[in-house]
Structure 1
Amino acid sequence: MHEDLLGENIVKLLEEILRWTRFQGWRNVKDVLTEMLTDDLSKLIYHYSDGRSSREVAQRVPVSHVTVLRYWRKWARVGVVEPIKVSGRTRYRKMFELEDFGIEMPEIKKKVEKKLAKEV
């Protein structure tokens, strides 16, 4: 019984630490994202970096898949994307949603999504 109470207290304490850590990190994350995503193209590439391949991202944004890979490597160094293994290859997934930090998505995204919806 004492161990259960101790475990509950530890969980509560960890949850409180997590809340404060998120609160403190929010500004830092926003600053890094704003610094790294300086134009519409980089914002779109980041937005579509959700586990898709570099070629899939490049189809949605008017760039080559090599350009997508370059962005991914740059962003991985600062920690705003994480590598994931898919079929033995490395892809990258964004760590944050831009909208959560008040970073607006460019109009191009809406046009691309309408075009893709028509193709399906």
Structure 2
Amino acid sequence: MLNKEDRIIELLEEILKWTRFQGMQRVKEVLLDVLKTDKEKIAYHYSDGRGSVEVARLAGFKSHTPILENWKKWARLGLMEPIRVRGGTRYKRAFSLPDFGIEVPRPKGGGKKK
């Protein structure tokens, strides 16, 4: 028979499991709602600490400005995490698209391998 503390831990683990499951379903909905184009999916996927110019090139954008705008928007939604780099802030994706069954299109342009 479980003691009271063990039973509480068991119940908390069960609650965490279901909360995580519900959260993951919601994350997938938000990702699909926000990342509508192949360019946006590529940009999100390759936002792993790379610079905005490189991410823009990989996604097929002519300028890195849309990347900077998307990073800020995605960060407000909790989809990105800011990371400090020399000279400013970059962003790193908080979730992996393939983990949610979302296909990542092939990059449009060249970029540094990472």
Structure 2 counterpart of 1:28: 26
Return 5+ residue gaps in structure 1 as ranges.
1-5
Aligned pairs, number: 109
Structure 2 counterpart of 1:87: 86
Which is richer in helix? 1
The structure 2 residue matched to 1:18, chosen from 16, 19, 37, is 16
Structure 2 counterpart of 1:41: 39
SS at match of 1:49: coil
Identify the structure with bigger relative contact order (alpha carbons < 8 Å, sequence gap 6+). Answer: 2
* Deviation of 1:30 (Å): 0.6
TM-score (norm 1): 0.75
Return 5+ residue gaps in structure 2 as ranges.
none
TM-score (norm 2): 0.79
Deviations 1:61-103 (A, max 9, x none): 2211111101111111111111111125111111111111111
Instruction: Report the Cα distance in structure 2 between the residues aligned to 1:42 and 1:58, rounded to whole angstroms.
Output: 10
CA contact (8 A) 2:79 2:95 kept: yes
Q: Which amino acid aligns with 1:34?
A: L
Map 1:89-104 → 2, pairs under 5 A: 89-104=88-103
Q: Percent identity?
A: 53
Q: Which amino acid aligns with 2:42?
A: L
* Deviation of 1:47 (Å): 0.5
Structure 1 stretches of 4+ with a deviation exceeding 3 A read 8-18
Let me know the Cα RMSD of the aligned residues: 2.5
